[in-house]
A and B are shown apart, each in its own frame.
Chain A
Amino acid sequence: MAYALQQLINGITLGMIYGLIAVGYTMVYGIIGMINFAHGDVFMVGAYVGIIVLTAFSGMGLTAVPLGLLVALILAAGLCAIYGYTIERVAYRPLRGSFRLAPLISAIGMSILLENFVQTSQGAKERAIPSLIPGGITLMNENGFVVQLAWMQIAIVITTLVVLGIFTYLVTKTPLGRAMRAVEQDAKMAALLGIDTNRTISMTFVIGAALAAVAGIMFLLYYGVIDFYIGFDAGIKAFTAAVLGGIGSLPGAVLGGLLIGLIEAFWSGYATVAYKDVAVYSILAIVLMFMPTGLLGRNDVEKV
């Protein structure tokens, strides 16, 4: 019981991070129908910006952790937004309207480019930071097994929820969000109504990249260790989360992320860590066999 509770806590924390990244995949897929394989690497860049800022903070002798984190979050989100914008502008927009695989190949190219750029500029070795928010609450003690809810986990879950809340407001209530949904549903019609579709698509990349940057910092806080390759692994997991939840569906992406996090945590806890990815992808395969559009994906039945 205690052990399961601990896995639940770990799984939710990890799942929230996957969910944040998955939102970026699903948004871009919804609006232009491509998988942005460089998205995971934008997440990795976010984590690196985080580690640079936090290291600089402690290097300057500043010990205010919340302030450092806030600065890291803002800088990472801003910088990654520029990355997202530029990637779309340089690598995807010129290929819009060409055959379907072209932007996909371009995306893989961008992914490799970013990985190598970070590898050469930041070094290939792992980088680590000490735990910034140590300690936590002891929830229960069952025969010597202590269930810990770390402050760090609370911070990650709260930050993620706040960011997702802002994001949901943006998509459902603001003119920009409406424009994004309109372009997603019928880009030509949106243009007929005066929406600048190129700008809307750019903004989608900007927002997705900023979310990925936040996820990158959360990942850094949670594990404390990053390297230039974390974007690949987390990216594929988050992509899986988006597909599991139903690609194109925003709530689906978060749900998918949580499920993947939980599957990983429980499989690692009860079976074997080595096979945790096998578990994740097997469940994906099974879900897709019975629900090809994912858990919350739609069947696109529309009245004609």
Chain B
Amino acid sequence: MSKVLSLSGVSAFYGQIQALKSVDIDVNEGEIVTLIGANGAGKSTLMMTICGNPRARTGSIIYRGEDITNLPMHEIARRQIAQSPEGRRIFPRMSVEENLMMGSQVVKFADYDQQLGLMLELFPRLKERFGQRAGTMSGGEQQMLAIARALMSKPKLLMLDEPSLGLAPLIVKQIFSAIRKLNQEMGLTVLLVEQNAFQALRLAHRGYVLVNGAITMQGPGAELLARPEIRAAYLEGGH
């Protein structure tokens, strides 16, 4: 299996506060890898660091054999690494259509129609809202838009930051099955951050556990699910 992404010894800071401590992570072609951890463990920071903001202060980030550690953010994005970030960050004063257009910024124009068709099939709700200003939609609809926007770039690596946040259980199920489908049918490589550790670990091939900015455990999803300390820390008390 070829490595899509490989982080070694990556640390990142917000001012004086160290958010990531020498993190090593690999993501292989066609894998779903999940990062689990409590609030403030550094999961979102890790994703943003891969995208270049905040920058990794030490260590290196290798993407498909290329060192992207110090590339500008937009150059990293142009290598078809897409992120549906924390807090969704859709463009509120743009229509759904324009938000999706922004997502396809890095691909050829000819791909736009094809990807758009796929997205509207995956999220029929967006079709109904196509001309509406994105900021006026419900939280769940905005989440769908954020994921669809990330997928518009035909990503070679898709990073999803808490795609289930604020969504009804039924929609969460739909989104997770959509991720699985994209992974199985198109070989999409996914890095997934989730609070919902149970669902994430069931979906993922492998998982990493992040505690206070450092990786403390890793292994296949099913194996992590079975470990008592994981059950105690992240799974007990309902999911």
Q: How far is the CA of A148 from the CA of B78 in the complex (A)?
A: 58
B135/A303 in contact, CB under 8 A = yes
Expressed in whole angstroms, the Cα–Cα distance for A302 and B74 within the complex equals 26
B-contacting residues, A174-222, CB 8 Å: 175, 178-179, 181-182, 185-186, 188-197
Q: Assess whether B53 is interfacial by the CB under 8 Å rule.
A: yes
Residues of B within 8 A of A175 (CB): 105
From A303, which residue of chain B is reached at the shortest CB distance?
B135
Partner of B105, one of A186, A188, A193, A302: A193
- A192-B93 in contact given A178-B98, A182-B102, A303-B139 (Cβ < 8 Å): no
B92 and A195: CB pair below 8 A? no
Please tell me if the beta carbons of A194 and B78 are within 8 angstroms of each other in the complex. yes
Interface size class of B (residues with CB under 8 A): 20 to 34
Interface-facing stretch out of B30-38, B83-91, B197-205: B83-91
- In the complex, which of the residues A189, A196, A303 contacts B91, with contact meaning CB atoms closer than 8 Å? A189
Expressed in whole angstroms, the minimum distance between the Cβ of B39 and any Cβ of chain A is 17
Contact of B106 among A185, A193, A304 (CB under 8 A): A193
Nearest CB in chain B: distance from A187 CB, A: 10
Q: CA A190 – CA B149 in complex, angstroms? A: 12
Q: Are B89 and A186 in contact (CB under 8 A)?
A: yes
Our pick among A182, A192, A304 for the contact of B73 (Cβ within 8 Å) is A192
Q: Does B137 have its Cβ within 8 Å of any Cβ on chain A?
A: yes
**What's the least CB distance linking B233 to chain A, in Å?**
28
When the two chains form their complex, are residues B102 and A302 in contact, meaning their CB atoms are under 8 A apart? no
- A182: chain B residues within 8 A (beta carbon): 91, 94, 102
C-alpha spacing A231/B73, complex, angstroms: 37
From B52, B85, B136, A189 is in contact (CB under 8 Å) with B85
- In angstroms, Cα B105 to Cα A175, docked, is 9
Q: Mark B64-80, 1 if CB is under 8 A from A, else 0.
A: 00000000111001100
Distance A196 CA – B106 CA, assembled complex (angstroms): 11
Asked whether A194 lies within 8 Å of B74 as measured between CB atoms, the reply is: yes
Residues from chain A with a CB closer than 8 A to the CB of B77 are 191-194
Q: Assess whether A185 is in contact with B91, with CB atoms less than 8 Å apart.
A: yes
B101 at the A interface (CB under 8 A): yes
Q: Which residues of B contact A179 (CB under 8 A)?
A: 102, 105
CB within 8 A of B102: which of A190, A196, A303, A304? A190
16 extra interface residue pairs, beta carbon distance < 8 Å, beyond A178-B102, A181-B91, A192-B85: A182-B91, A185-B93, A188-B73, A192-B51, A192-B77, A193-B77, A193-B82, A193-B149, A193-B153, A194-B74, A194-B78, A195-B74, A303-B92, A303-B135, A303-B138, A304-B139
List 5 A–B pairs whose Cβ atoms lie within 8 Å, in order of A's numbering.
Answer: A185-B93, A196-B72, A302-B92, A303-B92, A303-B137
Shortest 5 CB-CB distances between A and B: which pairs?
A194-B77, A191-B73, A194-B106, A189-B89, A194-B105
